[in-house]
Structure 1
Amino acid sequence: MGELTTRERIQLLLKSADFPISAKEIMALTGIKREQEVYEHIYHIALSSKRKGFVVFVYPAKCEACGREISMERPRRPSRCPFCKSERVSPPKFLIRDRG
């Protein structure tokens, strides 16, 4: 068997993690250069998760100023809070666990 694809490496990393991981941490551990690329991979991993027997947990971004969670349809890091407009936003984090 050959080397793992980028998506398979991310999936393996999130499955073996003891705690939720941010896109920047995934970048550092996998060598991916762009944060948006990590979010795209996670989106596609989540789409295929229904067929493959695992669940992608998304811990939403959170505003550090007003404390609200910022949920989005597709994973990405918001540049500012849509509620109070603060730019102090912690990124979303991700974890994968087997279904059942």
Structure 2
Amino acid sequence: MLLRSSVEPLTARDIMQATGIRREQEVYDHIYHIALSSKRKDYVVILYPPRCESCGAEISLEKPKRPSRCPRCKSERISQPKFLIRGRDEV
């Protein structure tokens, strides 16, 4: 599993390049499904939330996605969320 073996957190674009998935939203959908399944498994999905590159605000997410604007300053300069999967005993 790509996210489990990765040393550093990966963005949706990193995952797209490694797996051949063509749509960014499809990556987010897969990660959401994996996160739901992880509640009954021995691993956990770690989300590094996106940040506004203008004001530095951390943007909280209910579902994995790339926000279009900062809720604080309305800037569109937003970093992508990053993901990792680790075993429950590693966290």
TM-score (norm 1): 0.87
Identity of aligned residues (%): 67
- Structure number with higher strand proportion: 1
Number of the residue aligned with 2:30: 41
Counterpart-to-counterpart distance in 1, 2:62 and 2:56: 20
Flag structure 2 segments of 5+ consecutive residues without an equivalent.
none
1:50 aligned residue (39, 42, 55): 39
**Aligned equivalents of 1:99, 1:37: Cα separation in 2:** 25
Would you identify which runs of 4 or more consecutive aligned residues in structure 1 move more than 4 Å? none
Match for residue 18 of structure 1 among 7, 15, 25 = 7
Structure 1 vs Structure 2 CA RMSD: 0.5
* 1:69 matched to 2:69: no
How many equivalent residue pairs?
A: 89
Secondary structure of the structure 1 residue equivalent to 2:75: coil
What TM-score, normalized by structure 2, do the two folds share? 0.96
